[in-house]
Amino acid sequence: MSMQKHLILLIAAIFIGQLTYAQLTEKDPFEKMNRAYEARRQAMEQDYAKRMQRMQKDYDDKMKRMNAAFESYLKRGFKEVAQTEKEVKPVEVPKPIDQPRFEPKVDASLPDKVDKPAKFIAPKIVLEDAPAYSIAPPIASPEGMEKYKQSLKIDFFGSAAPLFVDSRTSSLKLSTVKPKSFASYWDDFTDTYYPIYIESLHAYAQQTNLNDWGIYQLIDKSAKQLFTSSNNRTMWKWAMLNQAGYQAKIGYSANTVYLMLPFMQQVFERPYYSIAGTNYYLIDKQLDKKKIYTYEDNFGGAARKIDLHLPYSLNFTDETNAINKGTKLPNDGETLTLPMDKTVMAFLASYPQTDNTVYLNAAMQGPVKDKLYTYIQTRMDGMTETEAVSYLLNYLHNSFEYKTDRDQFGKEKMFFPDEIFYYPYSDCEDRTVLFTRLVSDLLGLDVVALTYFSHMAAAVSFTRPVEGYSFEVAGQTYTICDPTFINAPIGAVMPEFEGYQPIAIKINNNRQSGNMWQMIAQWLQKDNEGKIFIGERQMAENGKYIASGWFQDNVIINGRTYRAAAGTRDLWFATFDATGLLEWFVPLQCSNYAFSQAFNLGKQGNVYALINYAGSIGINQQRIGNSESPAHLMLGLSNKGQAILSESINFKVPEGKKLAFYGKYRPDGTKIDLLSFPINRVRFASDITVDSNNEVVVRGIVGEIEGLTKDVPITMSAATYRAEDQLELHLKNFQKLDVNRHMASLFAAIKLLSKNGGSMSGLTVRNLLQKHNPNFRKQNPDVYKGLLSMQFVANKGGVVQVETYKGKKVSLFSMRIQNNSNLQIIETASNAYQLKFLNGVHVGKAIVWYKLNSVSLAANGDMLFDYDRDHSKKMVNINEVVE
């Protein structure tokens, strides 16, 4: 059975028909409460509607002022700036034409582990730069824009991108190439409903996991379809990029307008202009003249540079764009076929040449990774570290044809990890990218890439001493492993590089950090089984492990007892050193339920969290927030666990309504900005970033988490307050809305469970299956057994917890469900939900397992599954697996 079917069975197992509430014996004891609740709800609805109108007006006024100020500046802000010549990626001497081959010496062997070998100089270590931009505020869509909404289908490297645009867009024109005309164009552009396009742009980018370069390519291809004039294309791209939050600039020379973009990384082989300390690269056109007229200040709503990092797996699934490529593993007679996507390959080919760290830490396509990793891991099962690394070296040495970039492409082109399977030839850089990724992901060993004047290799940190050329970095010993040096064993270095000092580039090691997190989790769970949970976790720049989560009842940490307030759920934050030892543990006392909705680290290991709570919340016996209805708290802790920022954000919304907000704070906690926006559906995830000025930027959604309330809502009288009756009521409502018939059943179950206090049991599963699908047990005996093993599921203040029979793991085909697994329910739009898995649910096969992050459910039956750290995605319709 496919992974998609396994995932759907998991969701069905948890939700369909299992819900039951505690039985009530009195007749309608809550009738008076219901009337009071309904009156309060109606009053909140009226207040909410008025507040939404006021916030929309405030937002529109703010944007008008910001746009007007920038328009005025454009009229006078242009000045002449000199061009800097394009830089070529440094290669001191040409790469070897033929692939180097290892020739073992007869009279000498490789030296033993050498701390400071005479002929090998320890490399200079380079760490990947952290992002230095702020997240952009949410886009608030004004009323009245629907009548201008026009479909715009873009050919995105062979895949159809369904976007939307204001129907008046194509009439935008630049009259003359002068600053006053630029200002007039900006005024005309901002009079259109440009949020229509930005909203669809972000939705498509989120669906496909496109990064900033992907967003630029979408805007570029849209401009080419909308406009015939080169200048009009450039102007529209510039205005749209700025409104989307990017610090794009225009410049002009004679009668031509040029687009210039700032990047987080260095970009090669493109000329640029240095403006206020930032390099702006020419993107579309070459400029013969060395000077250009441009401006210095940025639009007030633009805070981002283009980040070329590709941390998430690109999600393109059009079968017409699929192409199979083969690779042969050592000692295997058959060729492994890998499914690749031509859109992904074309998009990667559009990349400008940039820093090596971008390629070395990029995500692979999900289908390629899943099949390749399972295939290799099965063959390495039981091998020692050195045997496994030798196996991977053998694979890279002998399974790929060698040719330099200049011979294959006529220029330098470094591959992303999966491009090596697509093209017929590869060189040393490309093999190092794949080798370091395989060592890190499959073996969990620390690995660095080594760059020489005309070569790239790797070095691995083994857990035991290994023969060969070695060196130390930050107390760790690394041994040379060259994936291009044919048949070279571990520790061999090409003779011409023995006396050369390379540069070492650190590779993100998700597997090793995963092992450390597992050790930390086991330590926390000791004597606290089922009471303490990790919700968020992250590794700081200084190598320390920062975690947050929640606990209930009493827990013991380092011999000290902590008690959850009011018998609900308290939050906690903690720092562990590089070896996993606890440095500090700080609890937050919550009178009601609370949850950390967003989490990030600042400089020097400071911790920032956006906390969703109701009731009172305090730290170190001091109250820092209080709200009867769900509210937010922006919390900052120093690297010593001391509070440095606490800002209560109290935006009240009725049940079922949502509100977006955006805030910015200085490092000392001073508030710079706090804006709120009306929103009828979730367009973005709650997020926190720390920008280059160490300022903390947050955006969030009030009312996002379902069930984060103090009281259990009563919607039916005691006489009919049973799970079956509640389920039937919700099911009928969804059926009236023309929801897919299978999805309607699932939505009904989710609706019930979304309320605080909603619960279900394995016994209810059995009874409902026998009632609605009596043949299920015979057709799916293993699944039936697994369903009954999930003993009890309940929503406790916005977190749904799963208890399994006798605390054992539940296996459902390719899924493992641990005892005390947790998830949340998010209503992303009308008749659309997301199930966010917090911990305890994995998907995979016997050897390779991935964390299941979430599944998004649509009314038409589509189900989008998100798994692993790179957020690989798979879409399936419920009709394909449920008859």
Which of 71-75, 87-91, 614-618 has the lowest average pLDDT? Answer: 87-91
Tell whether 303 is covered by a domain. no
Contacts of 112 (CB under 8 A, 6+ apart): 465, 467
pLDDT band at residue 583 under the 50/70/90 scheme: very high
Number of domains in the chain: 4
> Could you give the 3-state DSSP secondary structure of residue 850?
strand
CA dihedral 449, 450, 454, 455 (to 10 degrees): -60
3-class DSSP string for 818-829: EEEEEEEEEEEE
**Confidence bin at 101 (pLDDT 50/70/90):** confident
CATH number of the domain at 404, please.
3.10.620
- Among the candidates 453, 475, 508, a domain finishes at 508
Residue 119 pLDDT class (50, 70, 90 cuts)? very low
Q: Where residue 19 falls among pLDDT bands split at 50, 70, 90? A: very low
pLDDT, position 107: 43
- More confident of the two residues 420 and 195: 420
pLDDT number for residue 816: 86
The answer to whether 177 and 255 are in contact (CB under 8 A) is yes
Please report the pLDDT score of residue 123 as a whole number: 60
Q: Is residue 718's pLDDT more than 50?
A: no
Residues 535 and 563 in one domain: yes
**Residues 269 and 354 both lie in one domain:** no
Residue 328: predicted pLDDT? 92
Question: What pLDDT is attached to residue 719?
Answer: 38
Residue 218 and residue 348 share a domain: no
3-state SS assignment for residue 601: strand
Cα–Cα nearest to 69, from 297, 305, 303 = 297
Q: What is the percentage of the chain residues whose pLDDT exceeds 70? A: 78
Tell me the mean pLDDT in the region 815-837: 85
pLDDT at 171: 94
Reported in sequence order, the residue ranges of 373-498 that DSSP labels E, i.e. its strands, are 401-402, 425-426, 446-451, 456-461, 470-473, 476-481
Instruction: Provide φ and ψ at 499, rounded to 5°.
Output: -105, 15
pLDDT band at 631 (very low <50, low <70, confident <90, very high): confident
Same domain, 480 and 612: no
Instruction: Report the b/e string of 825-834 with b at 16+ CB within 10 A.
Output: bbbbeebbbb
Q: For residue 801, what pLDDT is reported? A: 82
> What's the one-letter identity of residue 689?
T
Q: Is 299 within the bounds of a domain?
A: no
Domain range spanning residue 168? 71-85+137-294
Contacts of 249 (CB under 8 A, 6+ apart): 238, 259, 260, 261, 275, 280, 294, 295
Q: Region 357-363: what's the mean pLDDT?
A: 93
pLDDT band at 512 (very low <50, low <70, confident <90, very high): low
Rg (Cα) of the chain, in Å, rounded? 29
The answer on pLDDT for 51 being more than 80 is: no
Report residue 513's pLDDT band, with 50, 70 and 90 as the boundaries. Answer: low
Q: In whole angstroms, what separates CA 43 from the centre of its chain?
A: 38
* 23: confidence class by pLDDT, cuts 50, 70, 90: very low
* Closest CA relative to residue 443, chosen from 420, 416, 462: 462
35-49, 287-301, 704-718: the lowest-pLDDT one: 704-718
Share of the chain above pLDDT 90, in %: 35
Local confidence band at 114 (pLDDT 50, 70, 90 cut-offs): very low
For residues 680 and 550, membership in a common domain is answered with yes
- The tally of CA atoms less than 13 A away on the side-chain side of residue 9 is 25
Residues 814 and 724 placed together within one structural domain of the fold: yes
514 sits in which H/E element: helix 510-525
Q: Is 843 helix (H, G, I), strand (E, B) or coil?
A: strand
* pLDDT band at residue 14 under the 50/70/90 scheme: very low
For residue 182, what pLDDT is reported?
95
Banded pLDDT at 877 (limits 50, 70, 90): confident
Hey, what amino acid is at 102? F
pLDDT digits (tens, 9 = 90+) for 366-408: 999 999 999 999 999 999 999 999 999 999 999 999 998 889 9
The last residue of one of the domains, among 650, 680, 702, is 702
**Looking at the domain assignment, is residue 57 inside a domain?**
no
Same domain, 269 and 344: no
The number of angstroms, rounded, from the C-alpha of 91 to the middle of its chain's C-alpha atoms is: 34
Q: Per-residue pLDDT for 509 more than 80?
A: no
* Per-residue model confidence (pLDDT) at position 152: 96
Query: Do 218 and 364 belong together in one domain?
Result: no
Specify the 3-state DSSP secondary structure of 610. Answer: strand
Asked whether residue 27 is domain-assigned, the answer is: no
Same domain? For 197 and 243 the reply is: yes
Encode pLDDT of 196-249 as tens digits. 999 899 889 988 999 999 999 999 999 999 999 999 999 999 999 999 989 999
pLDDT value of position 16: 42
Rounded to whole angstroms, how far apart are CA atoms 722 and 576? Answer: 46
- Looking up tokens 């739009």 gives 829
Distance CA 121, CA 472 (A): 10
As a whole number, the mean pLDDT across the chain is 81
92 within a domain of the structure (yes/no): no
Examine the pLDDT at 127 and tell me if it is beyond 50.
no
In a domain, 116, yes or no: no
Alpha carbon distance, N-terminus to C-terminus of the chain: 15
Residues 6 or more apart in contact with residue 664 via CB below 8 angstroms: 134, 671, 672, 673, 674, 695, 696, 697, 698
Of the listed ranges 2-11, 165-174, 748-757, 809-818, the least confidently predicted one is 2-11
Structure confidence by residue, pLDDT tens digits, 309-344: 998 999 998 888 999 999 999 988 889 999 999 999
- What per-residue confidence (pLDDT) applies to 17? 37
For residue 248, count other CB atoms closer than 10 A to its CB: 28
List the single range of 418-422, 496-500, 513-517 with lowest mean pLDDT.
513-517
Residue ending a domain, among 486, 508, 530, is 508
Q: Give the C-alpha separation, 43 to 187, whole Å.
A: 40
Tell me whether strands 425-426 and 401-402 are parallel, antiparallel or unpaired. Answer: parallel
Do 813 and 864 share a structural domain? yes
**Tens-place pLDDT, residues 253-279:** 989 999 999 998 999 988 899 998 899
- Which phi-psi region, left, alpha or beta, contains residue 82 (left: φ > 0; alpha: ψ -120 to 50)? beta
Instruction: Give the model's confidence band at 110: pLDDT under 50 very low, under 70 low, under 90 confident, else very high.
Output: very low
Query: How far is the C-alpha of 824 from the C-alpha of 761, rounded, in Å?
Result: 18
What pLDDT does residue 855 have?
87
For the cut 80, the answer to whether the pLDDT of residue 714 exceeds it is no
| Calpha distance 312→869 (Å, rounded) | 8
Tell me if 299 sits within 8 A of 242, measured CB to CB: yes
Q: Are residues 754 and 872 in the same domain?
A: yes
Lowest mean pLDDT among 495-509, 707-721, 846-860: 707-721
Residue 108 lies in a domain: no
pLDDT of residue 22: 36
630 secondary structure, DSSP code: E
Q: Count CA atoms within 13 Å of residue 126 on its CB side.
A: 14
pLDDT of residue 758: 67
Q: How far apart are CA 459 and CA 432, in angstroms?
A: 10
pLDDT category, 149, cuts 50, 70, 90?
very high
pLDDT above 80 for 753 = no
Q: How far apart are CA 795 and CA 15, in angstroms?
A: 12
Domain co-membership, 205 together with 233 = yes
Q: Is the pLDDT of residue 708 over 70?
A: no
- pLDDT, residue 418, reads 93
**What per-residue confidence (pLDDT) applies to 153?**
94
Q: Which residue has the higher pLDDT, 140 or 468?
A: 468
Residue 529 has pLDDT above 60, yes or no: yes
In a domain, 841, yes or no: yes
